[in-house]
Amino acid sequence: MKGIARVAAAAALTSMVAGHAIFAEFEVNGVSAGKENGLRLPTYDGPIEDVTSAAVACNGGPNPLVKFSPNVINVPAGAEITARYIHTLDTDWRTGLIIDASHKGPIMVYLSKVSNAATAPIPSSGWFKIHEEGYNSATGKWAVDRLIADRGYKFTIPTCIAPGNYLMRVELIALHAAGSYPGAQLYMECAQINITGGGSLSPATVNFPGAYAGTDPGIKFNLYTSPINYTIPGPRPVTCGGTQPTTAATTARTTTTGAATTRTTTPATTTSRAATTTSASTGGQQAAWGQCGGIGWTGPTSCVSGYTCKELNAYYSQCQ
Ligand X SMILES: *[C@@H]1O[C@H](CO)[C@@H](O)[C@H](O)[C@H]1NC(C)=O
Say which entry of ligand X, Cu ion, none residue 72 contacts (CB below 5 to 8 A, set by partner kind).
Answer: ligand X
Strand 302-303 and strand 285-286: pairing?
parallel
Nearest residue (CB) to ligand X, 250 versus 286: 250
Q: Supply the DSSP string of 282-314, one letter for each residue.
A: GGGEEPTTSEEESTT--S--EE-TT--EEEEET
Choose from ligand X, Cu ion, none: what does 20 bind? Cβ within 5-8 Å by kind: Cu ion
Which CB sits closer to Cu ion, 75 or 175?
175
Q: Strands 22-28 and 185-196: what pairing?
A: unpaired
Residue 279's Cβ-count burial label (10 Å; 0-12, 13-18, 19+) is: buried
The partner in contact with residue 19, picked from ligand X, Cu ion, none with C-beta cut-offs of 5 to 8 angstroms by kind, is Cu ion
- In the list Cu ion, ligand X, none, the entry touching 247 (Cβ below 5 to 8 angstroms by class) is none
Shortest distance (Å) from residue 40 CB to ligand X = 16
| Comparison of 49 and 210: residue with beta carbon closer to Cu ion | 49
Smallest gap from residue 72 Cβ to ligand X (A): 5
Contact 12, 39 (CB under 8 A): no
Cβ 194 vs Cβ 164: under 8 Å: yes
From ligand X, Cu ion, none, interface partner of 301 (C-beta below 5 to 8 A by class): none
Residues with Cβ within 8 Å of 53's Cβ and at least 6 positions away in sequence, in order, are 61, 209
Q: Between vectors from CA 85 to CA 83 and to CA 89, what angle results, nearest 5°?
A: 125
Q: How far is the CB of 102 from Cu ion (least distance, A)?
A: 8
For the chain, give percent helix, strand, coil, nearest 5.
10, 35, 55
Q: Which residues between 41 and 70 bind Cu ion (CB under 5 A)?
A: none
Using CB positions, name the residue nearest to Cu ion.
19
Minimum CB–partner distance for residue 277 and ligand X (Å): 16
Closer residue to ligand X in complex, CB, 63/165: 165
Measured between alpha carbons, how far is 79 from 235 in angstroms, rounded to an integer?
A: 22
CA distance 171 to 296: 28
- Which SS3 state, helix, strand or coil, does residue 54 take? helix
Q: How far is the CB of 171 from Cu ion (least distance, A)?
A: 14
Q: Which of residues 4-43 bind Cu ion (CB under 5 A)?
A: 19-20
What three-state secondary structure class fits 7? helix
- How do beta strands 73-76 and 185-196 pair? parallel
Q: How far is the CB of 307 from ligand X (least distance, A)?
A: 20
Q: Which is nearer to ligand X, 199 or 217 (CB)?
A: 217
Smaller CB distance to ligand X: residue 14 or 74? 74
Q: Which does 165 bind (CB under 5 to 8 A by kind): Cu ion, ligand X, none?
A: ligand X
**Residue whose CB is less far from ligand X, 122 or 309:** 122
Contact positions toward ligand X, by CB under 6 A? 72, 74, 165, 194, 196, 217, 229, 231
CB of 242 to ligand X, least distance (A): 24
Residues that bind Cu ion (CB under 5 A): 19-20
